[in-house]
Structure 1
Amino acid sequence: MTADFTDFLIPDTAVSVAGLTDYIRLLLEQDEQLRQIWVIGEVSSANNHRSGLFFTLQDPDGQAAIKCVVWSGQLPKLMQRPTVGEQLIVLGSIRLYPARGEYQLSVWQALPAGVGLQALRYQQLRNRLEAEGLLDPQRKRSLPSHPQTIAVVTSPTAAAWGDIQKTLKQRYPGLHVLFSPATVQGEQAPESIVKAIERVERDGRAEVIILSRGGGAVEELACFNDERVVRAVANCTIPIITGIGHQRDESLVDLVADENVHTPTAAAERVVPALADLYNQHQHRVVSLQQAVQRELETADDQLQGLRERLQRLRLDKQVQQQMQALIWQRQKLVQITSGKLQQATQHLEMLRQKLTTLDPKAVLQRGYAVVRQEDGMIVRNASELAMGQELVIQLGQGEVKVRVTGKKE
């Protein structure tokens, strides 16, 4: 049975195509979110025209696409010109083209996505910091030459912390090290690093701070380009040295720090001198001082001999006596000054010798202490590490004894 189309009545609410299109246009163009929206996608096609650049932006899987246009007057203002195959982030507004009943994105700005966007943000932040003078080399402070207390900001589980401790202990025994733990990777890292630096500042004892972590991928080191971390380092009242990663481009934290090196170990080596090197330098100064004094004495003797010969030729006994007395006085003064300097140098040398003796583990054993080791040579620090019947070796000031665990009290 066929329908009788004459039975249908055209309602009074029917609109024209133009009316429907205009209605849809108003819905799209007056929507607050669509009037200024960021869209990310891949440029699948691009066509230059006299009026502007027309291109298509699509998702990587190709399941959705949108037509875009950049009018000629806006093209020079784009950070990145749309090119086929590139990932972009574009800012624009939705516009409807009534003649075809199609909508498109009218683009105002285009930025590189992915790594390109990170590089752009890095450069923009660097430009701001440079404009503020935070990268000026004249802002950088000298590190203390012989710090007694230093602080380390890094992860407690990272190998960097162990490397720093080992290096500091080898180079400068007895150094006071403050550890301020921080997360150095991931979204929580920037805030954690800032709090760790502030913690050291509030404590007030550290003379220098080491900010460190081991090597990693670029994205793992992103926290050291975070503006919060960069400004915390730049504004810190305590000198900071960074030892971040290995062979890489410098991070913004490296640029604002007072000094930077490429590894945690290098940072520890830069912060404190080696005690053995200090001793050798002192010995060299003592030898140099003795040589200088000897040269002065030889010069004085030569001058004295020359005056004697001159006076003998002139036969001026009185003047000879006066000059002799003056030379004797000068020589006595020189000897006194030299003796004083030698005494100071000797006292300093003795102080260093006593300090080295105090740090000698054998000296500790001679005072009645002992070192307890397991059979594999590991030092016992906790009774809970031992088992009943386990054999141990006790190192005394003179000799060793072997014992067996028959009981323990934790």
Structure 2
Amino acid sequence: MVNKKVFSVSELNAYLKGLIENDSWLKNLWIKGEISNFKAHSSGHRYFVLKDKLSSLRCVMFRSRAMRLSFQAQSGMDVILRGYISVYERDGQYQVYVEEMYPAGMGALYLAFEQLKTKLEQEGLFDEGRKKDIPFLPRKIGVVTSSDGAAWQDIQKVVYKRFPSAHLVLVPTTVQGDNAPREIVRGIQLLNKAAEVDVIIVGRGGGSLEELWAFNTEIVARAVYYSRVPIISAVGHQTDYTICDFVADKRAATPSHAGEMVVPVQSDLIRLIKIYHTRLEKSVKSKLNLAKQQTAYLRNSVPFVFPERLLRDRMQDLDIEKQNLERNAKGSLREFGNQLALLTDKINMLSPFTTLARGYAVCRREKDNKVITASREVNEGDKVEVLLARGRILCRVTDKEEGEARNG
């Protein structure tokens, strides 16, 4: 084993992983098979085995990719998927890392349609309450469809016939094939951001389920849902229904029908405007005549013909009001005066000076000006100030007697 390279298991797995990932054929390939052992992990990742009659292949689809699926994958379903091959080093097994996946066959298409329809309906994308009104007379009309298709020709023919001065803005896209969903989404987003349109028509002519499939994809449905501008879906014939129809603010049976929905007939509108103009003119004239009659009546009324009579009556009313005001004011002043006299008498009765005037006196100790109410509060020899109604007397205590006050 001299000079021989000895690999660890990890080194060998890493080496094989490098070989596989550098193979251009294995970086981006499409594979068809049947799903088995399908598992949806709580993380959002999907794990399954893709098999045919002779072989099987491990597959993993990470959450970010699985969220874009337009159908509910399950065991037993035939699918076509795109991805790249790499080695899961821990187990030393190669597997497909799935980028996108679609059901195979018509039955699978219908199943995917119903599954996506149910999913979006549960999320509220079809709710009528959130749908926007189509403007009566849009200034600009955006159209997302193929520039070469019959739908664009039908829309132009109907719109310009009904309203020759209409302004159509086309964002040309493919309407079928792998790139169609992304182009339709970009068209809707472009008209929302830059074109200043008032309504958008999204559609194409009739076709098979596979041909209409771009309008059954989740990314188109969500672009329609999040559009700030109202959208009319006009996909296929009257019997064709797509996911786009359910999400759009209005569904048109055909592109021609969308043209009828989006603008009125200009000649009918002009005729209607003339009718309203005539009615308005008659109404204004009628109101002006009525106003003239009322003005003439007022000019002939007493206040205008004999204004001095009205002034004389108002002056008489003013004199009466003046007399009433003076009488009421005098009565109020008299009542307030009586109340003031009563309050003054009550205050005088409660005044200590009134009590002093009846012969009573207030005695205070000279040393601290404390009012004396009992003989025990002074001692012999203390100086006492006696407050009278008029003047004061300064006394010295020579004797005192305990006991209650006596009347008389």
TM-score band by shorter chain is 0.3 to 0.5
Rg larger for = 2
Q: TM-score, normalised by structure 2?
A: 0.46
Q: TM-score, normalised by structure 1?
A: 0.46
